């Protein structure tokens, strides 16, 4: 619930514009403050109380929290919308693997190796998990501390420390405090004891309650003590409750402007579902439903990739479709007898079509028409893949000078542009290709042969 400029101006001195803030009037300054274009300290005439109040009102509705340090730090929170189509989600959730100090050394090593090394390239990006959660379960403090030390030494990833025993929690924190680990859980039972310890070396904390209501006095207490980086665990017992709690927290923060719940959240599919497949599916629900840190008991390459792809997809900015540049691309080493195909410039369309061509091992030219990042059919429907505009693109691209056969293959789904395209490209023959990229494998080799006859 962002505060408006006209509400801010009521709190400014505003008797006579002095312009000391660099703006012509208090009102102009207020408008800038409301949109985040200026900071409160620019007006030096505010009383400390008003200044603090304004700063609080202008702070993001959901706190930005940083776990870890350096290049591998994970930043979550600061989200501005409930549904991604309203604007965009900003900070993708951190995905963590859970390691218990009760697990065998071999298992521990395997997990550290996995989380450090598993990575996937996907449409030009590298996807990876980001965090390691370490759980004190053995009852043997030294054993846990040895695990923390080992992980701290062998990985640059951010750490989540999980211990019901506060002494152990803070002893572990002391081993990796510079890495800004997330300390979990802070509860109504231990919060008074924990606060002074947290303040010794500030790091983010995970607050656990048995319900949303139980979290509220806890975050209020933390805030009062000056601890402001927290993530919330509302203690949801199953997925139905989880969706409710995640939704309520997000709504309370954004729609009600309710500060005590204005924090990112953490979820533990590892404790909700036991079976591997269901645990990953539960994690995928949390990705869809606002969660900022997601802890899994384990994963392998086949369960991690789908989760990372989903995170990427949901956190893609819907206002800017991923698009590739309009031009012709050479796939393999096409010569003057190579096939020429055309598709739209949505990154995904390009990715699917070019990999289908690559798989046939037939060197080809692939023309990519700027359809403002839409797919072929939607692009056509929006008038961005019409015969006229496709023809103009082909002419402009210079592909004419690269091939002897003036033949171009269009996607079967837009067969209807054939006539228009023939008019726009005199001398060219328009070939209707497969309806889907999946059909390229059956189509292209034969077609390429026919061009060489």
Partner 1 sequence: MEYKAPKEAYKGMVREVTIGKGEKAMKVGGENILPFHFFDEGSLPNPPRFALEVLDMEPAEKTPHLIEPFGDVISDPIKWAKKCEGFGVDAICLTLVSTDPAEKDTSAEMAAQLVKRMLAEIKKPLIVYGSGDEKKDAEVLPKVAQVCAGENLLIGPVQKENFEAVGKAVLDNGHVAIAQSPIDINLLKELNVKLCKFLPPERVIIDPLSSALGYGIEYSFSLIERVKQIGVITKDSMTMMPIIANLGAECWKTKQAKENKTQGLLWEGMTALSLYLAGANILVLRHPETLKSIKETIGR
DSSP 116-131: HH-EEEETTEEEE--E
Minimum separation from the CB atom of position 60 to ligand SF4 (A): 22
Residue among 51 and 197 whose Cβ is closer to ligand SF4: 51
Q: Which of 90, 305, 392, 451 touches partner 1 (CB under 8 A)?
A: 305
Residue among 123, 433, 183 at smallest CA distance from 305: 123
> Does 145 contact partner 1 by CB under 8 A?
no
Q: Which of 29, 299, 329, 346 touches ligand SF4 (CB under 6 A)?
A: 29
Q: Which tokens is 169 given?
A: 């929690």
Partner from ligand SF4, partner 1, none binding residue 450, C-beta < 5-8 Å depending on class: none
Residue ranges of alpha helices (H) inside 118-183 are 141-154, 166-176
- Cβ atoms of 293 and 264 within 8 Å: the answer is yes
Partner from ligand SF4, partner 1, none binding residue 27, C-beta < 5-8 Å depending on class: none
Q: Select the span of 15-23, 154-162, 215-223, 224-232 touching ligand SF4 (CB under 6 A).
A: 15-23
Partner from ligand SF4, partner 1, none binding residue 266, C-beta < 5-8 Å depending on class: none
> Does 43 contact ligand SF4 by CB under 6 A?
yes
Residue among 8 and 212 whose Cβ is closer to ligand SF4: 8
- Cβ atoms of 170 and 57 within 8 Å: the answer is no
Token pair 């598993």 is found at 118
Residue among 35 and 126 whose Cβ is closer to ligand SF4: 35
> Does 83 contact partner 1 by CB under 8 A?
yes
> Does 19 contact ligand SF4 by CB under 6 A?
yes
Residue among 199 and 278 whose Cβ is closer to partner 1: 278
> Does 65 contact ligand SF4 by CB under 6 A?
no
- Cβ atoms of 315 and 344 within 8 Å: the answer is no
Residues near 117 by beta carbon (within 8 Å), at least 6 away in sequence = none
Residue ranges of alpha helices (H) inside 320-407 are 347-360, 376-381, 387-397
Residue among 284, 293, 225, 233 at smallest CA distance from 65: 293
- Cβ atoms of 61 and 87 within 8 Å: the answer is no
Most distant CA atoms of the chain, gap in Å: 87
> Does 38 contact ligand SF4 by CB under 6 A?
no
Q: Which of 58, 119, 138, 258 touches partner 1 (CB under 8 A)?
A: 258
- Cβ atoms of 126 and 72 within 8 Å: the answer is no
Residue among 124 and 302 whose Cβ is closer to partner 1: 302
Minimum separation from the CB atom of position 380 to ligand SF4 (A): 53
Token pair 């408008």 is found at 31
> Does 138 contact partner 1 by CB under 8 A?
no
- Contact residues for ligand SF4, defined by CB under 6 A: 12-14, 17-21, 23, 26, 29, 43, 45
């Amino acid at each position: 619930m962002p505060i408006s400029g006209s509400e801010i101006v009521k709190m400014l001195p505003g008797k006579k514009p002095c312009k000391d803030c660099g703006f012509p009037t208090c009102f102009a300054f207020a408008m800038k403050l409301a949109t985040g274009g200026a900071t409160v300290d620019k007006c030096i005439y505010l009383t400390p109380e008003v200044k603090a109040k304004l700063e609080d009102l202008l702070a993001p509705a959901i706190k930005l929290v940083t776990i870890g340090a350096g290049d591998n730090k994970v930043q979550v929170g600061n989200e501005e919308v409930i549904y991604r189509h309203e604007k965009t989600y900003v900070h993708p959730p951190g995905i963590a693997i859970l390691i218990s100090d009760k697990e065998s050394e071999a298992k521990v090593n395997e997990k550290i190796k996995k989380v450090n090394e598993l990575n996937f390239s996907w449409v030009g990006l590298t996807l990876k998990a980001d965090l390691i959660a370490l759980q004190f379960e053995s009852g043997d403090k030294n054993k846990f501390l040895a695990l923390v030390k080992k992980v701290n030494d062998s990985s640059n990833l951010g750490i989540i420390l999980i211990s019901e025993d506060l002494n152990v929690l803070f002893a572990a924190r002391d081993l990796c405090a510079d890495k800004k680990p997330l300390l979990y859980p802070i509860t109504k039972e231990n919060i008074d004891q924990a606060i002074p310890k947290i303040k010794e070396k500030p790091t983010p904390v995970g607050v656990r309650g048995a319900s949303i209501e139980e979290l509220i006095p806890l975050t209020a207490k933390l805030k009062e003590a000056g601890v402001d980086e927290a993530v919330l665990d509302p203690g949801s017992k199953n997925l139905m409750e989880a969706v409710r709690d995640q939704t309520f927290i997000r709504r309370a923060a954004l729609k009600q402007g309710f500060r005590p719940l204005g924090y990112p959240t953490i979820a533990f599919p590892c404790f909700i579902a036991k079976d591997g497949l269901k645990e990953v599916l539960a994690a995928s629900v949390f990705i869809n439903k606002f969660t900022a840190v997601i802890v899994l008991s384990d994963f392998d390459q086949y369960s991690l990739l789908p989760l990372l792809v989903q995170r990427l997809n949901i956190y893609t900015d819907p206002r800017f479709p991923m698009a590739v540049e309009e031009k012709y691309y050479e796939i393999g080493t096409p010569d003057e007898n190579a096939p020429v195909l055309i598709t739209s410039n949505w990154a995904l369309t390009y990715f699917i079509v070019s990999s289908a061509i690559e798989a046939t091992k037939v060197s080809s030219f692939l023309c990519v028409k700027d359809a403002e990042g839409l797919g072929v059919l939607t692009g056509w429907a929006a008038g961005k893949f019409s015969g006229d505009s496709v023809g103009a693109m082909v002419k402009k691209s210079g592909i004419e000078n690269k091939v002897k056969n003036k033949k171009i293959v269009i996607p079967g789904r837009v067969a209807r542009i054939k006539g228009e395209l023939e008019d726009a490209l005199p001398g060219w023959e328009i070939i209707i290709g497969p309806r889907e990229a999946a059909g390229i494998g059956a189509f292209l080799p034969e077609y390429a042969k026919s061009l060489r006859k």
